Amino acid sequence: MGATVLTPSPEEDMERRRTRPRIADVAREAGVSKTAVSFAFNSPERLSAETAIRIREVAGALGYRPNPVARMLTQRQTMTLGVLTPQALAVIFSNPFFALFSEGVAHAAEDLGYELHFISPLHGSLALAVGRSTVDGVVAIGLSADHPEVGQIRGAGLPMVLVDSDDLPGHSSVVVDDEAGARAAAEHLVELGHRDLLVIAIEGPATPSGEPGRTGVTERRLRGYRAVLEGAGIELSAERVVAGRSSIDGGSSAFQRAWAMGIRPTAVLAMSDAIAIGAMRAARELGLRIPDDLSVVGFDDIDLAGHVDPPLTTVHQPIRQKGADAVRLLLAEVEQREANRPEHIRLETRLIVRASTGPAPQLRQEVP
């Protein structure tokens, strides 16, 4: 048998409302003004420590609790931060990177007493979702500085921090050194003798023409790859750069498309670990051995990277720290601790070599 839920009658509910202690009751019992009671809960620094403690003790004895809605209206704060993403949440949360980023955001926000609200396209419209959201500030991840919704938030005067975007005047930002990380990945493969490479890029939001776009992350990492490959005399033609969603299925599909086009790489540079793991899965389904026939390098160093078979060589970035830093910068703006002084953080990357990479196949054959 399930528990019985007793719903109060309208008369009982009215009586509870009448007998519920109010701010005036606390003020009368504590011998202070209603303003002082409000300060005790919302701005205790404006009272002496003894007075604030006494008021809260009286409130506790009476069973008084501040009305959160009234407090929100008084302070003009929701105590909620928005995380703005360009893709549907079902897509975003299929990417392990976003789960780690959200973990960093959540820990930092909760430690400071804020809740989170994830803002993603509503009925296909990100602008509609933004317009319906009530938050104190926004962490925008994966949106370019010229994205329409970024302009919408700026126009509303809402505090905002950009993550994985280009710098925008007046707003703080957090990025990693994407180009350096990409160079390290490409250098690793070149040193192993690979010359036939495939790049699987992160598919960005669709352009006005309907074609997949490229994010700032994609462009920066592509610059890093090209710099190394061109320096080694290796041409990276347009058909050797394919795009896929940053998910395991997206990586698998992208590798299959490249293979169907007749591209036969000895190595893959994937712009996310999820993409890399998907490419490895597709390669095995085609009968390729990793790393004997195909080497694969990812980017992110998600927790799964070290546990796949074979463990994935990848570029490590501090994902959780990226989320926590974004919240710290946003709250500095929300609480106006550093008004008009945006900060731009660039976190370091490093190559983690595991078993998914090895010498190019032709070099293996030459080894006695």
**What is the model's pLDDT at position 146?**
84
- pLDDT tens digit at each of 368 positions of the chain: 444 334 445 444 444 445 678 888 899 999 998 888 878 876 677 788 889 888 888 988 887 766 544 444 344 567 889 998 887 888 788 889 999 999 999 999 998 888 998 988 765 666 666 666 788 889 999 888 888 888 888 887 889 999 999 888 889 999 999 999 999 999 999 999 999 999 999 987 655 555 555 778 999 999 999 999 999 999 999 999 999 999 999 999 999 999 999 999 999 999 999 999 999 999 999 999 999 999 999 999 999 999 999 999 999 999 999 999 999 999 988 877 555 688 999 999 999 999 999 999 976 554 43
Q: Do 108 and 188 lie in a common domain?
A: no
Question: How many domains does the chain fold into?
Answer: 3
**What is the model's pLDDT at position 13?**
42
Q: Do 328 and 268 lie in a common domain?
A: no
**What is the model's pLDDT at position 340?**
60
Beta bridge partners of 117: 82
Question: Cα 190 to chain center, whole Å?
Answer: 31
Distance CA 144, CA 214 (A): 9
CATH number at residue 16: 1.10.260.40
Q: Do 310 and 323 lie in a common domain?
A: no
Q: Do 270 and 188 lie in a common domain?
A: yes
Domain final position from 33, 54, 75 = 75
Q: Do 225 and 277 lie in a common domain?
A: yes
Distance CA 360, CA 14 (A): 78
Distance CA 101, CA 85 (A): 12
- Per the domain annotation, does 360 fall within a domain? yes
Dihedral of alpha carbons 139, 141, 146, 152, sign: negative
CATH number at residue 90: 3.40.50.2300
**What is the model's pLDDT at position 111?**
87
Distance CA 205, CA 220 (A): 16
- Per the domain annotation, does 46 fall within a domain? yes
In a 3-state reduction of DSSP, which class is residue 129? helix
Peptide bond connecting 310 to the previous residue in cis, omega within 30 degrees of 0: yes
Q: Do 335 and 242 lie in a common domain?
A: no
Which structural domain, as residue segments, surrounds residue 307? 178-317+351-366
- Per the domain annotation, does 14 fall within a domain? yes
- The kind and range of the H/E element at 279 are helix 273-285
Q: Do 216 and 288 lie in a common domain?
A: yes
Domain final position from 26, 60, 75 = 75
- Per the domain annotation, does 4 fall within a domain? no
Q: Do 310 and 336 lie in a common domain?
A: no
CB 185 within 8 A of CB 162: no
Measure the N-to-C terminal CA separation of the chain; round to a whole number of Å.
74
* Tens-digit pLDDT profile for residues 245-297: 999 999 999 999 999 999 999 999 999 999 999 999 999 999 999 999 999 99
- Per the domain annotation, does 1 fall within a domain? no
Q: Do 19 and 152 lie in a common domain?
A: no
Q: Do 39 and 158 lie in a common domain?
A: no
Q: Do 44 and 109 lie in a common domain?
A: no
- Per the domain annotation, does 327 fall within a domain? yes
- Per the domain annotation, does 5 fall within a domain? no
Q: Do 292 and 192 lie in a common domain?
A: yes
Domain final position from 55, 75, 95 = 75
The CB-side HSE value for 330 (13 A sphere, CA atoms) comes to 32
- Per the domain annotation, does 94 fall within a domain? yes
Rg (CA), the chain: 27
**What is the model's pLDDT at position 8?**
44
Distance CA 235, CA 228 (A): 10
